[in-house]
Amino acid sequence: SDLLEWNRAGVFMRMLGLGLGLGLIASLCFGSAGFAQAQGTVDVLFRYSPEEGAVRSFVPGSFNNWGNNSSGVIQPWDGSLMTPDATIDGYPFSYKVITLPVGGGETTVGGSSGYTYKFHEHRNSSGSSYVWLADPLNATIVGEYGNSFVEITHPMIFQTEPADGALVNVDPPALVAFVGGIAGDPIDAGESEVRLNGVPVGAFSSFYDAERELLYVPASEVVGPDGAGADGADAGMSASGWVASGLVATGVASTAVAGAGLAASGLVAGENTLTIRAVTESGATREQVTSFTYLAPEVVDAPRPAGIEDGITVSDGDPGTVTFSLFAPGKEYVHVVGDHSNWQVDDAYLMKRDAVRADSVHFWLTIDGFTPGEYARFQYLVDGEIAIADPYSELVLDPFHDPYVPEGRFPGMPAYPDGALSGLVSVFQPGAAPYNWQVPDFDRPAPEELVIYELLLRDFVEESSFDVLTDTLEYLQRLGVNAIGLMPVAEFDGNLSWGYNPMMHGALDKYYGSPNAFKALVDAAHLRGMAVILDVVYNHAHERSPLIELYGANRSTNRFIGPGHAFNVFQHLNHDDPYIRYWLDRMNRYWLEEYNIDGFRFDLSKGFATNVDNPSNLQGPNPQRIANLKRMYYRLRETDPTAYVILEHFADGFEEQQLEQAGMMLWGNHNYNYAEAAQGYHDGGKSDFSGIYFGNRGFVNPHLVGYMESHDEQWLMRKMKLYGNSSNPSHNIQELDTALERQKLNGAFFFTIPGPKMMWQFGELGYGWGAQECLISGDGNGDCSASDPPRTGEKPVRWEYAEQANRRALYDTWSELMRLRRSSPVFTSPETAFSSFLSGETKWIRLQHEDMDAVIIGNFDVVQRDRQISFSQAGTWYEYLSDTTIEVPAGNLSSTFTLDPAEFRIFTSEPVQDVLPITATPQFDLEPGTYTESVTLSITSQSEGASIYYTLNGEEPSNQSELYTGPLVLNSSAEVKAIAVKDGFENSAVQEGIYRIVEFSLTLNVADTFVRELDLTIGTAADATRGYDELYDRLAPPPPPDGAFDARIRVDNVSYFDAYLPGVSSGGGTGGG
C-alpha cells in the first residue's frame, strides 16, 4: 500500500527535505563493539499506538514476508500480529518483538543495510477493512510506497519519542525509546543516560525496563517551561497522544519557533534537544541526538473579513496579499506554514479564530509579501499535530508520487519543498496571467443530442497527457461524437489509477499535465464543437484527503464521514452535513468557472445520503437522497444554467424518474442486453435492450444516457470471443470478422434511438478481442485469466487497430451512423414517436417526426431470417448506407425483407442531408484589447491541414479572403476575423477579435504638497476615449473631442490615480496635502 497516515496526539514530525524523506537520526557509535563490527542478533521491540476503533495491529515487513498478505489483506492470525500492552499507566501501545541480525536486511539507505516495514490495522473483525501505515516514530521512509526503514545496530536506539523534528503540544511529553543490544552484550543502565537540553533527566536506570529494553521517562519527570513538572496535567500519553509523519528527513536539526531558544534545563517553548546515550556492558556506545519543538500559542479571536471564503482569497487590489481560511470546529489553533515562513512554525503566522458557534469555527489569516506570478507552497498545521493541505487546493504536491511524473509532462512543476511538515502540500500562484480562452462561451449540444465518448486518459494515449489528447481530438471529431467524458482527473492517490480514489477533489492531477494544458484541451474540444464532461467522485474521499486527515478516519470523531454502504470504498462522505454540502457546491462551481467544462458525471450518487447503510434506503426510493441531489443540482444550475448533470445512480425506478424530471440525466446500463444480442442469444428476452429508450423507463424527458459499454463493463468483443454463438460455421461469432460485423449491427440499433448516448473508448475499433484486453470483475477473474491486468490496472493502448481494415470498417460504420443521427431530429428529439420490437432474433425500430420518419430492421440471429415491417407512410423511402430507394404503396405499408446474419437496413422517408464534421475554429495567440504599440498576431487551427482565411476590417471571411501564411503584424487598429477551411469538413465558425493600437501618456503634476489639488493630463487616440469616459466621468467633465483630458481634481488625503483604456492600465501617481 502507498497509504501513509499518522498517529494522533500531540507530536508532529517535520519533513526536512532529503529527497523522499530519507535520512538518519544524528547518531554516534563508540567502543570496540561498534555496530559495523558487532555480530549477533537484537530482539527489536516494535511499538505502535493503534487508532481508536482499530481491532488489531500488525507489523508486516521484509523480515516476515510482509505479513503474508494477499492483495493487501493480512489474516487475523498471522505471525506479524502485535500484542496490546497496558502495563504503563497512560501509555497504552501494541508491540511485537522481532529478532533480527545486526547489519541484516536487503534494503540499503546511505550505505547501510536494513529492513523495510509498515504497520497494518484491521478496522473490522474479519480484517477485510484495513489500512497500511508508515511508522509514525521512524524518520526514514523509502520507495514509492512510503515504507519505513530500520537499520539493526549494536547498541540500537529506535522509535524515539518525541520523534526527531516533531512538533509537540502535549504539556509535558513523556520520553520513550527502544534501547537495546545483542544478547551477549546488554545495555548497562548505570552507564547510559538521557538528557533534555543538556541536563540529565534523572537516572537512566530508574526509567529503563531491561527485559523489554524500553526506556520510558514519564511526563511527570519532564520539567515544563515554568519549571514545574506535570502535576495537575496529563502525566501520561494516551493512544491519541502522538502525531508524527513517516516522512521525516533526519540528520538536519529542527528549527525552533521564532524567538524561542535553548534553555539550560527542562522543557522550553521552542526547540528542545533530547540526547540518549546507550552504553553496553562491554563498553560499546551509541549516542542519539534529536530535537523537537514545543508549541504553546495564544490565539486571537476576530471575525473574518467580508467576502472571504474558505481556501485562499487573493486580494483584488494587490495579488501579493492573500487571505487563508480553514473550517476547523473543535480545533484549538492553526499555523500557516510554507515558503512565506521558510517552512518554520512561526507564531507570526498563527491564524485568527472566528467562532460563530461551536460547530462553525473558521481560522483565518491575511499574509502579504507574495510575489505575483510565482508559485507559493503551504500547509496548515492544526493543533501542532496535523499537517494538511487546503481542502480547496487547486494544485498539490505529493512527496510519494510526484517524483514519478514523467519529465516534461508538467513544465515548471513546483518541487516538493524542503522542510515540509509531511504529506500533501498546497500550491497557488497569485496574480498569474489568466488563460486566453478562444471559446469563452461554448454553445453546448442539447442533452438529447449528446454522444459521449468516455475515456481514461491513461489507457487512451501512450503518453497519458492532456497535450497528446488535444492532438488526438480530430480522431474523435471524425468519429462523430460531440462530447468527451473524462474519467477523474482530480488529484488521486498514485499516478496510474482510474481516479476513483480522490485525495484532493479540486486539484488537477499533475500526472496528466498542467492546469493550462487542461484548459487548452477544453478550449480545443470546444473549437471542434465537442463538450467536455468530468467524472467527479463525491461519494467518498481517500484517507489522505484533508477532509479525513483533519479529524481522522473514525466517524465518531469526524462529522464529514458518512455511515458507508454496500458499494462504498474509502471514506464515505456525509452529504447531510452542512459543510460537506458547501464544500461540494464549491467544487462544482470551481471546475465550471476555472476550467470552462460543460458538466459532470457524478460517480456513485447512490451514496449521497446518511441513511444508505440500510439496504432498502440504498436502493430506494430514498426521499433524503432525492432532496440532497435536487439541492445540489439547483445550486449548480445557479452557477451554470446549462451544465450537464449526469448521475451514476442505478437506484429505484421511481426515484430516477423524480431526478430526471428535476433536470438531471442518469446512466442507463444495457451492457448485458447488447452483449446477449451480439452473442446471438435471445431466449427469455435476454437480448431485449428496449429499456435504452427513455420513454420505456417512464422518463418524461430524454435524460437517460444509454450505453452498451463503459469503463465498468466487460467489452462486448470479449464476450463474443469467449461465448459467441458458434452453431453456424459460416457465421461463427467467436471469429473476429464476424464479431466486428455484429458490432456494426449493434451500432445501428444504438445510435438511432432517441436520447443521449455514451460509448467507451476504442469500442469503435473492436477493443476487447486482443491479449490483455479484458476487464477482471470485482469478485474474481470473471471472463479473464489470472494473467490479464488487474481490474483497474493498465490496459494496452491499441492505436494500431485504426490501421487494420476490418476494424477501421467498424469505425467508419459507426461514424456514418452518428452522421445519420446528426442529420435529423427524428433520431434525437423527445418529440419523436418511438415504437419497436427488440426482444427477438430479428428486431425493428420505427421513428416518426415532423422532420422525417425512419425505420431500422436487423437480423441478430446466426442464420438468415425474414423480417416484416410496416412503414409509417407511403411513398419513396431512402435506404441509408446503400444509397438506394424503395417505393412503399399506399395500399400496403407492410414489407418483408430477407436478412443475412448481422445484416441491417435503415430507411428514411426523406433523403439524408450530408452532415460533415466541422473544422476547428481558429485560435488567436493574443488576447483582443488595447495596446500602446504594434503587436504580432499568430492564428492556428487544431484541424490538421486546414487553411485559414482572414480579414482585418471586420468583414466576414470566406475562402476568397486573404490566405493566412504567417504571423500578422498589426501597426494600427484592426478588427480581425478568421475561418478555417478543410476538405471533407464544414468551414469553421468565425473567430474574431478587436485590437486597438493607441498612443498613450499620463502626466501628474502636483501643484503644491499643501494644496489639495493636482493637474491630471491624459492624452490618447481619439477613437479610444470612450473607455475613459465610461469609467472616469465621475471625476471631471468628459474629455474634449480631441481625446485629451485636462482638469484639476480635489484630493482628500492620499489618492491613487490610474489612467484607463480598454485592456490597458498604465501610469499612476499620488498626491496629497
How confident is the model over 814-845, as pLDDT tens digits?
A: 999 999 999 999 999 999 999 999 999 999 99
Q: What's the pLDDT band for 36 if we cut at 50, 70, 90? A: very low
User: pLDDT by residue (tens digit) across 341-400?
Assistant: 999 999 999 999 999 999 999 999 999 999 999 999 999 999 988 999 999 999 999 999
Cβ neighbors of 521 (< 8 A, separation 6 or more) are 466, 467, 469, 470, 532
Overall average pLDDT of the 404-424 stretch = 92
Check pLDDT > 50 for residue 410. Answer: yes
Overall average pLDDT of the 563-582 stretch = 95
Strands 644-647 and 665-669: parallel
Check pLDDT > 70 for residue 247. Answer: no
**Rounded distance between C-alpha atoms, residue 711 and residue 709, angstroms:** 7
Check pLDDT > 70 for residue 402. Answer: yes
User: pLDDT by residue (tens digit) across 889-925?
Assistant: 998 999 999 999 999 999 999 999 877 788 889 999 9
Exposure of 805 in the CB half-sphere (CA atoms within 13 A)? 0
Query: 3-state SS of the chain: helix, strand, coil percent to 5?
Result: 20, 30, 50
User: pLDDT by residue (tens digit) across 426-447?
Assistant: 999 999 999 999 999 999 999 9
Check pLDDT > 80 for residue 510. Answer: yes
**Rounded distance between C-alpha atoms, residue 635 and residue 626, angstroms:** 14
Angle at 217 between CA 214 and CA 221, to 5 degrees: 170
Overall average pLDDT of the 40-63 stretch = 94
| Residue (of 957, 958, 978) closest to 968 by Cα position | 978
**Rounded distance between C-alpha atoms, residue 548 and residue 664, angstroms:** 29
User: What's the alpha-carbon Rg for the chain, to the nearest Å?
Assistant: 34
Mean model confidence pLDDT for the chain: 87
% of residues, the chain, pLDDT over 70 = 85
| pLDDT value at residue 999 | 62
**Rounded distance between C-alpha atoms, residue 772 and residue 763, angstroms:** 15
Check pLDDT > 70 for residue 321. Answer: yes
As a dihedral over the C-alpha atoms of residue 222, residue 223, residue 229, residue 232, rounded to 10 degrees, the angle is: -80
Q: What's the pLDDT band for 878 if we cut at 50, 70, 90? A: very high
Q: What's the pLDDT band for 1065 if we cut at 50, 70, 90? A: very low
Q: CB–CB of 260/270 below 8 Å?
A: yes
Cell matching residue 868: 416484416
Global pTM reads 0.76
Overall average pLDDT of the 235-243 stretch = 28
Q: CB–CB of 423/4 below 8 Å?
A: yes
**Rounded distance between C-alpha atoms, residue 458 and residue 464, angstroms:** 5
| pLDDT value at residue 224 | 57
User: pLDDT by residue (tens digit) across 458-500?
Assistant: 999 999 999 999 999 999 999 999 999 999 999 999 999 999 9
Sign of the Cα torsion 14, 20, 26, 31 reads positive
Q: How many residues does the chain have?
A: 1073
Cell matching residue 833: 414517436
% of residues, the chain, pLDDT over 90 = 75
Q: CB–CB of 1033/972 below 8 Å?
A: no
| pLDDT value at residue 268 | 83
Q: Please count the other Cβ atoms lying within 10 Å of the Cβ belonging to residue 268.
A: 21
The secondary structure of residue 73, as a DSSP letter, is B
**Rounded distance between C-alpha atoms, residue 508 and residue 515, angstroms:** 7
Q: CB–CB of 999/1019 below 8 Å?
A: yes
**Rounded distance between C-alpha atoms, residue 840 and residue 86, angstroms:** 70
Q: What's the pLDDT band for 10 if we cut at 50, 70, 90? A: very low
Q: CB–CB of 555/470 below 8 Å?
A: no
Buried b (16+ CB within 10 A) or exposed e, 187-225: bbbeebbbbbbeeebeebeebbeeebbbbbbbbebbbbb
Check pLDDT > 90 for residue 243. Answer: no
| Residue (of 974, 994, 975, 985) closest to 941 by Cα position | 985
Phi-psi region of 987 (alpha: psi -120 to 50; beta: other; left: phi over 0): beta
User: pLDDT by residue (tens digit) across 88-133?
Assistant: 888 899 999 999 999 999 999 999 999 999 999 999 999 999 999 9
Check pLDDT > 80 for residue 1011. Answer: no
The secondary structure of residue 869, as a DSSP letter, is E
More confident of the two residues 795 and 139 = 795
Cα–chain center distance at 886: 54
User: pLDDT by residue (tens digit) across 955-972?
Assistant: 999 988 999 999 999 999
| Residue (of 193, 155, 100) closest to 284 by Cα position | 155
Task: Let me know if 36 is exposed, middle or buried by CB neighbors in 10 A (0-12, 13-18, 19+).
Answer: exposed
φ, ψ for residue 650, nearest 5 deg: 50, 50
Q: Is the peptide bond before 162 cis (omega within 30 degrees of 0)?
A: yes
